[in-house]
Amino acid sequence: MPNKTTQGSHPTAADVGKAAPEVTEGARNAATSMADAARNAAATIDESRSTAADGLDAAASALHDRAADLPGGETVRNVARATADRLGSSAEYVRTHDAKRMVADVQSFVKSNPGLALAVAVAFGFLLGRALCRD
């Protein structure tokens, strides 16, 4: 049985006109909330960059200090030194780039290396899954 606002199951133009501003306002509020959440997340990341960089530097330093004592020959020591150097350069990168720039760099890398990015994502997901499922 039709009522005042609809005829059968079809809304009238007046119904659509009344609902459109409400839907628009709801979408605007959702977009604002998401933008605020993104800004808050970026601010949180930016606040912890120094701590993360210090941790990377500490790991690099420890690896450099212990590289000479590692068993396995010169090849293992060279790999340890190279890894320590990469950790040190990663620390510098984290110090000098804000969250927005890091996201842009990751997006650029993924676009130019989709296969490698997918492989890294799969490996990371596997390791994360293993870490979370351990009893």
Two structure tokens written together for 123: 């490996």
pLDDT of residue 3: 52
pLDDT score for 1 = 47
In this structure, what token pair is assigned to residue 31? 């977009």
Give residues with Cβ within 8 angstroms of 94, minimum separation 6.
49, 52, 53, 56, 102
Q: Where are the domains of the chain?
A: 12-96, 101-135
Average pLDDT, 10 consecutive residues per value, the chain (135 residues):
54 71 78 77 80 92 89 89 93 90 91 94 91 78
CA angle 109, 87, 82 (to 5 degrees): 100
